[in-house]
Each structure stands twice: as structure tokens, then as C-alpha cells.
């Protein structure tokens, strides 16, 4: 692997299957190219024998618009979904079996270019040792919050100190510099201790400190307490914590989200950046981004009030889709626009894959935190109790959120003192976002340090 750096250098990105993981890595690649155009980006993509959604149109669009990003498709490994207990389990096995293909691809690529860095996501941990073997600096790209990273790095320590499943623990768990988190709010695939998924995740978390660094899609001013705990080594008490590079936020917009683009997409981006304009004086904009799940209750969206309106993206993704259809839906509740989610249809709403429910009022914003699966319950605790950027949504015993609860929380967000405080903090966070991403801002400096370390390795 003694290719001179005078040759063209590429950064290899390796996401796990699925459009969401792919988009995140593409956006990281675009950011690197924007600031450091001398690099090229190579993204390894995984072919699956089970349904992870369509990515073809997205890949073709990125290839045509960003020629410095190339995609390398790894060979198909046939697996029978019926032989695995969950999507996570079959995905983990696929990525484990992928590792020899990844190794051969890295070796082949290294004969024609310098591989400046190898960046993987959490699920691709089986490929991490390849970095040391081939003398390539290897990093994780962590797309969730620093608070979530704090938890994940510390979970092996908690694992050593308890012997029960999280689902059976009626108690809080304590992580460095974070509020107490109910054991039942741990990521859903980890709730059962004696499961393949739990075992794999603990193994992933144990490997993260062995990387050359962790790239996080956040910015320093947003999560100072969690980042302080990580940098002080509190989350890996019996090991060495690698450097953390907060380069975010990365937000795909327009067609790069896999959607239809347009003003509605810009408003969704504006929910973070604070740039979305008021739809009207008499009603609020309510963006609903639910994970693709049939657990969503249509009745939960039955807010037929003149002052409420629903705005959703021009395209949406169903539980097993990578493509959507239709145009933007903008209008007051009861406006008659068709909506589709899973198997049900309801007027005036379209639901997109995402995390939580976002509500905007004028140029201010806030979040109603309604988790559905994966690590979203953990994210809710962090959003509400740590970052204080959201209001808690209470589920019924069935796991649904009722229409009355949605109405109550939307009204609270818009009209109460607590809601105003949340909106003020969201506004401050959006200002912090712009500060972090501008020239000389913390995220730009972190990216520069990261790339400089590649050039010196």
C-alpha cells in the first residue's frame, strides 16, 4: 500500500444497505468535495437479496450531478430473510460476509489511487479491521447525536454491570453528563439481551474506540455536555477514546433527499436552519416525519382546526420503498389532498420517513417527539430532557398517540410559556448551526483538521 500521495487521492465511504444510510454518506462526500475538491469520493454499495428499498434512481442522479463521486457495487451475497429473526440480524450477517469483498475492493482501488481514508457506518463494523491491515486510516461516520454517541460508547460498561434484558429493567440507566434514561428506551433491537442483535451492537460499540476517529453529524455548541464527556474519556473508562470530529449538520435538500424538491423541501430544511416563511397568519405548518411503520395511527392526525395546516414533502417513502410519488401537499386540514402511509389513506396529510414530528409556527420552530422504532425513544429523551428542543408526546397503552394528544401538544408548543421557551431554544440552535458552518466556524475547523490528518498519514 505504498502508493505516493502525489497520485490522486480518494476517500472510500462504506454505508450499510438502505437509502437513508446511502444519502448520509453521499452528503458527507459532497461536504468533503466542497471544501477539498482535490479528493475524489468512492462509495461502496451493497447488493442485497432482500428488500431494502430502491436506490437506483438516486445513484444515477448523484453520478450525473457529482462526477467526483463514484459508486462501486459489491457482489451479491444471497441470504434468505426467512432464516433470520429481524432485518437487523440479516443485515449484520450480510455485512459480515461482505468483508472479504470489501478487502479485495480496497486492494484493487489502491493500485490506481491513494486511499486517504476509509469511512464506515456503525453497521459496517466488521470491515473496521481492514484499515489496520491495509494501513488505511479508518473512521466511523455517526449520523445521530453526540448524546447518542455518548450512550453507545458507554453501553459496554453498562453491559458488564447488569445481567438482565433492558426490557425487563424497570429502572433508569445513567450515562456520563446525560439525564437518566429509562432502560426501556434503549434502541429497540437491544431490548432483549439474549439476541443476535444485542450481541452485535455491543460488539460494534466495543470496536468504535478502536477507530482512528469518529465523524459526528452535529456541532459543538448544540451538545457541549455530551461532547465534554466523550472527549474526557468518561464514556470509555477502560480504554482510549478516539478523536471526535463534529462536522454537522449535514442536511440533504431537494432531489438529493430522494424526494421531489420544491418549496416544501426547503421548508423542511428550514426547520433546522430557521429560514422557512410563514404559510399564513391563521394556521401553523405541521411537518410530520414518521418512520416507515404501520404502527402510525391515522386518528393521531385528526386535527381538523382552522389554525392548523399540514405541509409535507412532495415525495414520501413507505415502509418498503425507496421512491415516492405525487406532488407537494400544502393546505389547511380537511383540504382534501390524498395521503398514503403504509396501507391507509387520509385527507390532508402525507407522511415521510424521518424521525419524530416537526412543528413550525411562523419563522420559529419546535419539535414534538413521537418515537416509533430503533433509537428514536433514546433520541426523544435527549431532545426533550438534554437539549430541551422538543415537547414530549405521550403514547396510549396501545403505543399510539391520540389525536387529542397531538392537538394538546401542538397548542402547547404554539401558545404556552414552555412552548415559547422551546421555540426560542430552537431559534438559538438554528443560529448556532449557521455559525458552526460558516468560514472559521467549529464544524468547518473540525473538517479541516480531519482532512489534514489524512494528508499527514
Confidence (pLDDT) at 277: 34
Confidence (pLDDT) at 354: 31
CA separation for the pair 158, 176 (Å, rounded): 12
Confidence (pLDDT) at 145: 93
Stretch among 244-248, 326-330, 369-373, 453-457 having the lowest mean pLDDT: 326-330
- The residue that leads in pLDDT, 330 or 86, is 86
| DSSP H or E stretch at residue 453 | helix 442-456
Stretch among 5-14, 202-211, 212-221 having the lowest mean pLDDT: 5-14
- How many Cβ atoms are within 10 Å of 166's Cβ, its own excluded? 22
Is 21 a catalytic site residue?
A: yes
- Supply the angle between the helices 263-273 and 417-437 in degrees, to the nearest 10: 100
350 close to 309: Cβ distance less than 8 angstroms: no
The overall pTM is greater than 0.85: no
Stretch among 84-88, 195-199, 238-242, 407-411 having the lowest mean pLDDT: 407-411
Three-state SS for 98? Answer: helix
Stretch among 226-235, 238-247, 286-295, 312-321 having the lowest mean pLDDT: 312-321
- The residue that leads in pLDDT, 190 or 53, is 190
Q: What is the mean pLDDT of residues 370-398?
A: 85
pLDDT reading at 24 higher than 50:
yes
Contacts of 356 (CB under 8 A, 6+ apart): 289, 367, 368, 369, 370, 371, 376, 379, 380, 383, 390
- Domains belonging to the chain, first-starting first, are 9-251+437-454 (3.40.50.2000)
pLDDT tier, 418 (very low <50, low <70, confident <90, very high otherwise):
very high
State what percent of residues in the chain have pLDDT above 70.
73
Catalytic residue among 36, 121, 150, 256, which?
A: 121
With cell 453529524, the residue in question is 217
Confidence (pLDDT) at 395: 80
pLDDT reading at 320 higher than 50:
no
Render pLDDT for 40-92 as a digit per residue (tens, 0 to 9).
999 999 989 888 888 899 999 999 999 999 999 999 999 999 999 999 999 99
Render pLDDT for 137-160 as a digit per residue (tens, 0 to 9).
999 999 999 999 999 999 999 999
Q: Where are the alpha helices (DSSP H) in 222-343?
A: 224-231, 263-273
43 close to 15: Cβ distance less than 8 angstroms: yes
Render pLDDT for 433-450 as a digit per residue (tens, 0 to 9).
999 999 999 999 999 999
| DSSP H or E stretch at residue 53 | none
Confidence (pLDDT) at 398: 72
CA separation for the pair 77, 87 (Å, rounded): 15
Confidence (pLDDT) at 366: 61
Confidence (pLDDT) at 170: 94
Is 36 a catalytic site residue?
A: no
Average pLDDT, the chain: 78
State what percent of residues in the chain have pLDDT above 90.
58
Three-state SS for 242? Answer: coil
Q: What is the mean pLDDT of residues 271-291?
A: 39
CA separation for the pair 16, 125 (Å, rounded): 10
pLDDT reading at 234 higher than 80:
yes
Amino acid at each position: 500500500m505504498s502508493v505516493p500521495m502525489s497520485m490522486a487521492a480518494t476517500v472510500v465511504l462504506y454505508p450499510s444497505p438502505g437509502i437513508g444510510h446511502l444519502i448520509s454518506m453521499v452528503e458527507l462526500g459532497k461536504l468533503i468535495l466542497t471544501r477539498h475538491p482535490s479528493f475524489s469520493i468512492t462509495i461502496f454499495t451493497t447488493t442485497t437479496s432482500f428488500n431494502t428499498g430502491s436506490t437506483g434512481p438516486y445513484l444515477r442522479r448523484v453520478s450525473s450531478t457529482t462526477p467526483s463521486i463514484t459508486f462501486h457495487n459489491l457482489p451479491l451475497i444471497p441470504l434468505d430473510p426467512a432464516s433470520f429473526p429481524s432485518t437487523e440480524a440479516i443485515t449484520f450477517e450480510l455485512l459480515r460476509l461482505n468483508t472479504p469483498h470489501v478487502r479485495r475492493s480496497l486492494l484493487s482501488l489502491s493500485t490506481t489511487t491513494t486511499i486517504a481514508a476509509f469511512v464506515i457506518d456503525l453497521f459496517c463494523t466488521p470491515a473496521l479491521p481492514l484499515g489496520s491491515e491495509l494501513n488505511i486510516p479508518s473512521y466511523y461516520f455517526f449520523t445521530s447525536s453526540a448524546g447518542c454517541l455518548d450512550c453507545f460508547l458507554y453501553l459496554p460498561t453498562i453491559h458488564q454491570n447488569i445481567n438482565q434484558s433492558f426490557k425487563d429493567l424497570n429502572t433508569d440507566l445513567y450515562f456520563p453528563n446525560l439525564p437518566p434514561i429509562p432502560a426501556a428506551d434503549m434502541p429497540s433491537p437491544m431490548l432483549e439481551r439474549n439476541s443476535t442483535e444485542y450481541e452485535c451492537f455491543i460488539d460494534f460499540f466495543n470496536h468504535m474506540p478502536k477507530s482512528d476517529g469518529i465523524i459526528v453529524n452535529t456541532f459543538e455548541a448544540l451538545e457541549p455536555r455530551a461532547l465534554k464527556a466523550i472527549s474526557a474519556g468518561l464514556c470509555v473508562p477502560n480504554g482510549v477514546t478516539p478523536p471526535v470530529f463534529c462536522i454537522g449538520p449535514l442536511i440533504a435538500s431537494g432531489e438529493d433527499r430522494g424526494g421531489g424538491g420544491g418549496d416544501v423541501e426547503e421548508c423542511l430544511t428550514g426547520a433546522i436552519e430557521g429560514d422557512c416563511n410563514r404559510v399564513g397568519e391563521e394556521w401553523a405548518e405541521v411537518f410530520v416525519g414518521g418512520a416507515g411503520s404501520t404502527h402510525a395511527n391515522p386518528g393521531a392526525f385528526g386535527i381538523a382546526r382552522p389554525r392548523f395546516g399540514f405541509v409535507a414533502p412532495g415525495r414520501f417513502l413507505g415502509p418498503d420503498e425507496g421512491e415516492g410519488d405525487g406532488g407537494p401537499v400544502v393546505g389547511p386540514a380537511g383540504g382534501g389532498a390524498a395521503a398514503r402511509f403504509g396501507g391507509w389513506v387520509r385527507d390532508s396529510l402525507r407522511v415521510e420517513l424521518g424521525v419524530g414530528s416537526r412543528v413550525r409556527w411562523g419563522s420559529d420552530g419546535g419539535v414534538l417527539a413521537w418515537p416509533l422504532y430503533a433509537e428514536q425513544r433514546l433520541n426523544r429523551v435527549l431532545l426533550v430532557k438534554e437539549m430541551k428542543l422538543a415537547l414530549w408526546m405521550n403514547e396510549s397503552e396501545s403505543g399510539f398517540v391520540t389525536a387529542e394528544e397531538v392537538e394538546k401538544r401542538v397548542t402547547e408548543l404554539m401558545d404556552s410559556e414552555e412552548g415559547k421557551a422551546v421555540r426560542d431554544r430552537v431559534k438559538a440552535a438554528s443560529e448556532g448551526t449557521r455559525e458552526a458552518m460558516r468560514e472559521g466556524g467549529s464544524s468547518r475547523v473540525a473538517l479541516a483538521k480531519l482532512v489534514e490528518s489524512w494528508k499527514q498519514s
